[in-house]
Structure 1
């Protein structure tokens, strides 16, 4: 029986890389503005996903399992994520994951993020790298250290905007191994979460364990299966001192290589401006990942019952979608970048999800011609693990029966759980906004006016609506959601102008569903892909 128990614990641990992603701070307090100036918010195109910490002008350290949510940038120099200046505080990153990392249960849960430019402090952007251990360490039991993050503050809570910090006691490693039934990976530290109500939970994996007020000794790795009440087992951190040779090698090697690449990139930019413009459009779909609804309103409980929240293995909303038959949800192909594993149906409030009756695991069926948003074909079917039971809370939406041409200025609707303003955050309750169809030729001309030396061409088979000459449309938070006209889903949210929700110049762009009816019908008929 004991052996079986140990195996079960091991397999639970296998899930922890996901369960702890962005582990939060429990029973903590707000961090003062002048302290912990090394803290970093690791973000993807939908917002904060993990914590991290600045260790040099060029590198941030975080957890390797944070790569599961496709981080693309870090924010430095602020403790309040509502006050982010993208020009001075946001840095795009290159990922350097530990080569031996496979999954959290196997250890080596550490990753370096190479910044796109040097992180230098200023009056408006205070920064100060934190020291790493100089050699392998032995931490005394019950020694109080600090852990910080922007994550939840209670079980089943929500992330916070202001950085929280809490003190946690070091727990003897042998005792920790016993508590975890000898299933822990090597090279870890245990602190908090056991015999205390302080520690981390969902919201800030990758954040630092800081001892002596100035040295980062650990990286937040995992806890016990979403449980922030800490009834039985300690929280687990990657021991930084065991990875010093690898980190020093990367910091020295990558820094040298990046300097050469930056110079090379500067030369290429002048010669291949058009090439870079093309890839700018590729990024546009990603900027819209989970594009949000701007100037919308809450959807009544009895309407839009086909709406689906497409989620990753953390149960985090990454995209919108819509139910088109009992077996399939339709969404955008670029939503696959968010690694969707399930959809939630039958609820407009994502705080009230019943996993047993509302969550369906999925198989992705991406359009075979899809390469990037800039090239079009941004459409994907999600095959449900079981038939969706249609009832008063779950209904289908119709698709066009053949290719359509929608009249200019026709009033349609777009819905989602995304941000409600530029620089905002996702919402829990489904929002909807009215948008007007824009003439395709006008749309093409407006996109051609985007300031550049090379004209920007829209992909084929798209519809334009909202975002141009109006304050209504989508932004970050619900790519993959439907454009609904006359009770039919005619489009799939694809991209907008580089994450800009103020809509100064160009229309929002949707994939035209009617152009893909043969492919959709084929997949639905064979019930597989």
Structure 2
């Protein structure tokens, strides 16, 4: 029954996605200008997505589930989101708790490392909030506060000015009973039950503040999107239960990179495929391709090396593993000391670092660089429309030698001859329907396929692609090697883009790569004008 309860909570909370996550201040008031100076607006493309709060000169705390909305910056030093200047905005790197899976399992907490240290002074309207120093137990009905820029009524919209409301602490046993004993461990309940005050969508990640000076909780979730309180209690992550993790990151001033790098995850939610089957049947040619690739998500993207072998250590030293908090998500390759080339669709997995200098992802001597910026062609919208190429600017230059080399790119547009023998490599799966990629880099030979033949087999192909492998042979790629290079005569001529659905039982439809030579002006412009 415990598993059933967890499953029930998961569907209640995640089935409605953001609707079930904390977000709006209900029956509150505008916050006073010189109060709550720790409040942060967590944003994506300059749009508010979550709340947060400053806990040191280098870090803002928020909810782990806010990572789903790809936060890129935070705003500090204002209560009015219509009055934001560039000095108030800080780019961020995400440090999500390593045990977080979803809100139903708890540990819904994340630290955001700021791109620059906050300057604290009496003139500056920014001040960190105090955290507990040990585990705490709050008293029933103790009055605390929650604040944010979320809705002020059900089905409303984000507000410009910060709002705050008082909420009473609810006994945890009573709260768990109201939630039918399905709450995760390490939470606090306050508001939403026995009162008409609380939160809903948009304030996720904001603080629960007690004694007007101590942040004890992080806004996590409520019941579906119903903010017509009283209803079920609002749920917060208990900060005091996660102090060792918090203190470790604040002290080291960096994320738990090494603990989180090498988890493996099935990145394709099965139910998303089911809901898209009807859409796949509607339309032909280009629309059919778009629906297959978009609805099946990464399942249709290049990823695994089929019928290949391990790469010798002294070869292909340009290969890069592009990673997010769950570990390897895509391949890539070094094209300069400070740039990695990969596929544009890899950005969907929110990568934040790259690993290179080794063919084994468990090698303790591997080199790691954070990703400072992503560059995609303006014409890229989906793999079906082409332009599936991306450059990743690294936070520091890669040092050449010791297992690290660049790969040459074409200098002009090229036309590969039919049946030319090339290679593709990666850390993806090695069998259809597998769950885990490999730790050791693998490579396979593939033959170039005539473009007209490829078009006939695919019904539609975008411009600027190369076809090689997967057809007329049992060798090719699938999920996991996206972004890796197609190498011909020692030159990177293509970027792994997509294949047919997730069927890697070749022969099948040809594998498709982005033609690097068709994007040379764009590539040269970025490499020549963007320096560390």
Instruction: Normalising by structure 1, report the TM-score.
Output: 0.52
- Kept in 2, the 8 Å contact 1:25–1:151? The answer is yes
Alignment of 1:114-513 (within 5 A): 114-121=113-120, 125-230=124-229, 232-254=231-253, 327=288, 329=290, 365-366=300-301, 375=341, 378=344, 480=381, 513=462
Which structure would you say has the larger Rg?
A: 2
For residues 284 and 122 of structure 2, the distance between their equivalents in structure 1, rounded to whole angstroms, comes to 51
1:373-422 CA-to-partner distances (Å, cap 9, x unmatched) read 98586469x9xxxxxxxxxxxxxxxxxxxxxxxxxxxxxxxxxxxxxxxx
- Kept in 2, the 8 Å contact 1:367–1:378? The answer is no
- Kept in 1, the 8 Å contact 2:386–2:464? The answer is no
For residues 378 and 217 of structure 2, the distance between their equivalents in structure 1, rounded to whole angstroms, comes to 49
- Kept in 2, the 8 Å contact 1:133–1:217? The answer is yes
For residues 39 and 76 of structure 2, the distance between their equivalents in structure 1, rounded to whole angstroms, comes to 7
How far residue 515 of structure 1 moved from its aligned partner, in angstroms, is: 2.7
* Counterpart in the other structure of 2:54: 54
Distance 1:154 1:493, change over 3 A: farther
SS of residue paired to 1:74 = strand
- Kept in 1, the 8 Å contact 2:25–2:164? The answer is yes
- Kept in 2, the 8 Å contact 1:26–1:199? The answer is yes
How far residue 492 of structure 1 moved from its aligned partner, in angstroms, is: 7.3
How far residue 95 of structure 1 moved from its aligned partner, in angstroms, is: 2.4
For residues 100 and 8 of structure 2, the distance between their equivalents in structure 1, rounded to whole angstroms, comes to 21
1:259-284 CA-to-partner distances (Å, cap 9, x unmatched) read xxxxxxxxxxxxxxxxxxxxxxxxxx
For residues 323 and 46 of structure 1, the distance between their equivalents in structure 2, rounded to whole angstroms, comes to 38
Q: For the aligned residues, what is the CA RMSD?
A: 4.5
SS of residue paired to 1:218 = strand
How far residue 135 of structure 1 moved from its aligned partner, in angstroms, is: 2.5
How far residue 67 of structure 1 moved from its aligned partner, in angstroms, is: 1.8
1:278-326 CA-to-partner distances (Å, cap 9, x unmatched) read xxxxxxxxxxxxxxxxxxxxxxxxxxxxxxxxx9xxxxxxxxxx99766
For residues 39 and 494 of structure 1, the distance between their equivalents in structure 2, rounded to whole angstroms, comes to 37
SS of residue paired to 1:174 = helix
What residue ranges of structure 2 are gaps of 5+ in the alignment? Answer: 258-271, 273-282, 304-329, 334-338, 349-374, 394-460, 472-496, 504-532
For residues 525 and 97 of structure 1, the distance between their equivalents in structure 2, rounded to whole angstroms, comes to 32
- Kept in 2, the 8 Å contact 1:367–1:379? The answer is no
How far residue 174 of structure 1 moved from its aligned partner, in angstroms, is: 0.8
For residues 255 and 378 of structure 1, the distance between their equivalents in structure 2, rounded to whole angstroms, comes to 27
For residues 526 and 217 of structure 1, the distance between their equivalents in structure 2, rounded to whole angstroms, comes to 49
SS of residue paired to 1:246 = helix
- Kept in 2, the 8 Å contact 1:41–1:48? The answer is yes
Distance 1:37 1:527, change over 3 A: same
For residues 31 and 78 of structure 2, the distance between their equivalents in structure 1, rounded to whole angstroms, comes to 11
Question: Of 515, 520, 523, which aligns to 2:464?
Answer: 515
For residues 388 and 297 of structure 2, the distance between their equivalents in structure 1, rounded to whole angstroms, comes to 20
- Kept in 1, the 8 Å contact 2:178–2:232? The answer is yes
For residues 6 and 58 of structure 1, the distance between their equivalents in structure 2, rounded to whole angstroms, comes to 35
- Kept in 1, the 8 Å contact 2:145–2:210? The answer is yes
* Counterpart in the other structure of 1:27: 27
SS of residue paired to 1:25 = coil
How far residue 494 of structure 1 moved from its aligned partner, in angstroms, is: 9.5
SS of residue paired to 1:209 = strand
1:110-153 CA-to-partner distances (Å, cap 9, x unmatched) read 12222222112357741111111233222221222110111222
Number of residue equivalences: 328
